[in-house]
Structure 1
């Protein structure tokens, strides 16, 4: 029974495929020109932030779209020198770089690139690429038309079996994919993508900051000398107090000392008399 059901389902699916394939047409083979333009420029400017603002304003004026915008400052070298007793002068050399990715109406691409060239102090790199997608666009269009014809043929069939339904859903999904591909091509043809990388020469920044060297906050020499005298007297007093706390040990040590002295003196007297 399972084998028979599977064979029946396979036969229905093959029948649906035959109906779909039988409805394929070549359609209109007229090739419409679809040229996709992409450009990239790397250049040096006098003021990166001001250039970014001017380019953004010009882009809006021409009806373009900003896709990505980035601005960063990379520190090349930094040094701190003494400025006063409690402050330092921080000297920093940094390089500012910017990046803009935009979509410009293709008809305005030349005007926009000319505007960018006027803002450039020096152009490092510039490229313009043309990608002909006319044949791909035609192929997607023919495939989409064939999907429509196949769906219409399937809809005319009175057979409501699952094979026709599955095939119809597959063809509809594929039709949507082809339409989306052509919509993307139309968007890329209408708006050209341009990438701008720009930078400015190293800039020197001077900033007075707080002195973070703790040694510079110590008192002066004579003040420290007076404080050391006071500290020494305090230490001497503490030593006396410690000695007072140990008076018993000092007394025992004194008795031992005098005992030894007395013994040695008494011994010498006895030796002088010839008794020892």
Structure 2
């Protein structure tokens, strides 16, 4: 009896094991069919081609060119993303123009930088308009990149994560460690969606970078004379001022020496005393008589 019972239990285990394996295989086949269906559906999707362009050119006036570029972009539905103008002084010199003014002569170069986004269908038209503004085009380039596969990859992975989150939420609880996994999958799902939105924007709007410059410019302007020597009074006026200052210094010297009258008096008395004793000493000296030889 026990032997028959064991055989029945073994047969049941084999049966259920086979059924579970078949279900797993069916699930794998279903998942593979789903991915294949998604891939086949994306074959007919529109291509995700992005365009980026660069140009460097010479213009007559950088500031006027910037204004024309802004107007052209606005008409074609574009937008200036970044803009800057910089000037570099090559040489400068100041020459005398009048007694109190100088003529400043400056040689400088001006460069402009502009980054813009423009609808992809208007990119060629915009570059043609730029070529008409330029005096000379140094270089021009266009780069196209197919982002279709990256777009499909993000889409499929986002859908897989959404399905995984749905299944985790069915069995997850607040204390389950699967909650963190679900949150991680949700964040990754959001990242994939954002990446695809960025690709859509890049496909819709092309980015163009413009570097433009003008020839060396010479500018002259009248500025105040900063040489202090040129502002000094005339010779005769300075001579009169110096004589007046000399008399003032002499009076100050006399006043200063008047404060030392006691020292002068003491020195004078000491001089006469020394002189008196010196003469007296010489008077006592006996001069020997000179004999005839």
> TM-score, normalized by length of structure 2?
0.77
Q: Partner residue of 1:33?
A: 47
Larger radius of gyration: 2
Q: Unaligned stretches of 5+ in structure 1? A: 1-17
- Bigger relative contact order, structure 1 or 2, given CA contacts below 8 A and separation 6+? 1
Residues of 1 paired with 2:134 and 2:243: CA distance? Answer: 69
Q: What is the CA–CA distance in structure 2 between the aligned matches of 1:248 and 1:145, rounded to whole Å?
A: 113
Structure 2 residue 256 is matched with structure 1 residue 242: yes
SS of residue matched to 1:212:
coil
User: Aligned with 1:59: secondary structure?
Assistant: helix
State the Cα RMSD in Å: 2.7
**Matching residue within 88, 91, 99 for 2:105:** 91
Aligned-partner Cα distance in 1 for 2:267–2:56:
91
Superposition map of 1:32-181 within 5 A: 32-153=46-167, 157=170, 159-161=171-173, 162=176, 165-181=179-195
Distance in 2 separating the partners of 1:81 and 1:58: 43
How far 1:208 moved relative to its partner?
1.9
* Deviates further, 50-59 or 143-152: 143-152
| Structure 1, 140-149 or 177-186: larger mean CA deviation | 140-149
Q: Secondary structure at the match of 1:40?
A: strand
What do the CA deviations read for 1:50-83 (whole angstroms, capped 9, x no partner)? 0000001000100012111111212222222222
Q: C-alpha displacement at 1:174, in angstroms?
A: 2.6
| Structure 1 residue 166, shift from structure 2 partner | 4.6
Distance 1:264 1:139, change over 3 A: same
> Take 2:271 and 2:178, find their aligned partners in 1: how far apart are those partners?
123
Aligned mates of 2:81, 2:150 — CA distance in 1: 25
Q: Deviations over 1:220-247 (max 9, x none)?
A: 2221111111121222222222232222
Mapped partners of 1:252, 1:28: distance in 2:
123
Change (3 A) 1:255 1:102: same
Q: Which runs of 5+ in 2 are unaligned?
A: 1-23, 289-293
The 2-side partners of 1:181 and 1:51 are apart by: 35
CA–CA distance in structure 2, aligned partners of residues 226 and 272 of structure 1? 64
The SS at the match of 2:155 is helix
TM normalised by structure 1 equals 0.81
Structure 2 CA distance for partners of 1:250 and 1:34, relative to 1, 3 Å: same
User: Aligned equivalents of 1:222 and 1:237: distance in 2?
Assistant: 23
Larger mean CA deviation between 246-255 and 36-45 belongs to 246-255
